[in-house]
């Protein structure tokens, strides 16, 4: 048995470590193969262009697309912005109504709010306690002016997997463009743009053991051909969809990461789900008042989001220094406000601020999970013994969340 290394990393939704195979594939493009893929007059440029094309084909094959439908960006945030702004601008002559959900990643949520400032109407559909939207409500929300429906394939906080195929069918029947944020889905669950009838999809390299700073967007080019207006202009790279010198090294790493995913997509999720369930069963068998956020069945294999009643998550995390977990999206981890996603599925402020997200990954081990269970049980029991949250509930007293938090912080010092 290998010696366990600390700290233990269980925040793979935020980012993943670069796979050693990916790193080895990238190394030559830092030093020897440093050409610009847009340089058409010499071998350095040709070599870089060939590497980019290889990655493009690899990613296209993995999601059942045509290589010409894959465009490289700086990451999922840019891809989502490009989809929302680019499609809205291209189809605004047909209407200005967009449908999304209340639980999209901040990159999607914020870009849609920006479109509202520009005169577009956005309907944010509610979800149930597991994070699923009502398909009938989606149908009823469609207007003659609806041009885009944007729903994430899998939620980054609670792991809920949406039935994007059903949404794709609705969009196809009504002649509406369908975009999905596939950032958390890619490489973890089957994702086929033809079967799901997706018209545009956004994704990122660093969620699948590739490098940060590179991502992609799929844009359907036939049946139907999706129009999109470029948001970054300049040299005309990526067929004038996204100008700028291509990050060849990052793209090579992204392609290699996808290649690895294509090899392990059958068995890896099964192994990660085994560890996820081991963690869940270990905690719930030894602790009371632990609630699962999201669906137990239609859930990403690496996701576990739990509410530990009577324990504030920031105090919990500060006590768990040797294990990396989070309260939710890394993009909003600097704020202590209750999670917008958890509130959307019906959690109170107290429950939201008592919730922890565990993101398991390729390199986690059974020994790490066993240790994590042991430490969390110890910490939760210790914190609950003197928890003002529990004493308040038991005595029927009513205090504001700020008062309770202040007492907990003083106690932890």
Rounded to an integer, what distance in angstroms lies between the CA atom of residue 356 and that of residue 19?
26
Rounded to an integer, what distance in angstroms lies between the CA atom of residue 179 and that of residue 336?
30
Going from the C-alpha of 147 to that of each of 78, 104, 212, 221, 224, the distances in angstroms are 20, 18, 32, 17, 14
Joined together, the tokens standing for residue 173 give: 């029947």
Joined together, the tokens standing for residue 413 give: 């010092």
CA–chain centroid gap for 323, Å, is 21
For residue 21, the SS3 value is helix
Beta bridge partners of 215: 73, 204
Going from the C-alpha of 348 to that of each of 129, 309, 354, 401, the distances in angstroms are 12, 11, 10, 11
Which residues form the catalytic set?
331
Q: Which helix (H) or strand (E) holds 358?
A: strand 355-359
Q: Smallest Cα–Cα separation from 360: which of 296, 298, 271?
A: 271
CB-based contact 102:252 (threshold 8 Å):
no
Rounded to an integer, what distance in angstroms lies between the CA atom of residue 358 and that of residue 354?
13
Joined together, the tokens standing for residue 275 give: 């560890």
Give the E-state strand segments of 171-329 in sequence order.
177-181, 200-204, 215-219, 290-292, 303-308, 323-324
Question: Apex CA 338: angle with CA 213 and CA 127, to 5°?
Answer: 85
* 350-377: b (≥16 Cβ within 10 Å) or e: bbbbbbbbbbbbbebeeebbebbbebbe
CB-based contact 302:161 (threshold 8 Å):
no
Q: Which helix (H) or strand (E) holds 315?
A: helix 313-319
Q: Which helix (H) or strand (E) holds 395?
A: helix 388-395
Joined together, the tokens standing for residue 221 give: 């080019």
């Amino acid at each position: 048995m290998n010696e366990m290394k600390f700290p233990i990393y269980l925040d793979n939704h935020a980012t993943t470590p670069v796979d050693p195979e990916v790193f080895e594939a990238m190394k030559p493009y830092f030093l020897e193969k440093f050409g610009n893929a847009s340089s058409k007059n010499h071998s350095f440029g040709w070599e870089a262009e060939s590497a980019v094309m290889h990655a493009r084909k690899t990613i296209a094959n993995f999601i059942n697309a045509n290589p010409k439908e894959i465009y490289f960006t700086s990451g999922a945030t840019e891809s989502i912005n490009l989809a929302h702004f680019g499609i809205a601008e291209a189809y605004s002559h047909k209407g200005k109504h967009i449908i999304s959900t209340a639980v999209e990643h901040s990159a999607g949520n914020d870009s849609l709010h920006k479109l509202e400032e520009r005169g577009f109407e956005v309907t944010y559909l509610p979800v149930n306690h597991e994070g699923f939207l009502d398909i009938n409500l989606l149908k009823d929300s469609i207007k003659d002016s609806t041009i885009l429906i944007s729903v994430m394939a899998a939620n980054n906080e609670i792991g809920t997997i949406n039935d994007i195929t059903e949404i794709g069918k609705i969009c196809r029947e009504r002649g509406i463009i369908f975009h999905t944020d596939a950032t958390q889905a890619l490489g973890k669950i089957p994702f086929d743009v033809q079967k799901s009838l997706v018209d545009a999809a956004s994704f990122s390299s660093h969620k699948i053991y590739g490098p940060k700073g590179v991502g992609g967007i799929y844009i359907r080019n036939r049946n139907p051909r999706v129009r999109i207006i470029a948001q970054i202009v300049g040299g005309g790279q990526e067929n004038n969809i996204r100008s700028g010198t291509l990050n060849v090294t990052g793209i090579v790493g992204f392609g290699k990461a996808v290649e690895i995913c294509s090899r392990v997509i059958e068995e890896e999720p099964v192994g990660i789900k085994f560890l996820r369930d081991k963690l869940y069963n270990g905690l719930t068998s030894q602790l009371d008042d632990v609630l699962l956020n999201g669906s137990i069945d239609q859930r990403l294999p690496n996701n576990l989001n739990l509410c530990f009643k009577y324990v504030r998550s920031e105090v919990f995390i500060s006590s768990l220094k040797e294990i990396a977990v989070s309260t939710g999206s890394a993009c909003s981890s600097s704020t202590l406000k209750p999670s917008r996603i958890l509130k959307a599925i019906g959690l109170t402020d107290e429950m939201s601020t008592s919730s922890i997200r565990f993101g398991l990954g390729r390199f986690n081990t059974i020994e790490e999970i066993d240790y994590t269970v042991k430490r969390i049980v110890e910490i939760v029991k210790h914190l609950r013994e003197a928890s003002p949250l529990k004493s308040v509930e038991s005595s029927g007293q009513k205090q504001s969340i700020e008062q309770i938090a202040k007492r907990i912080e003083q106690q932890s010092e």
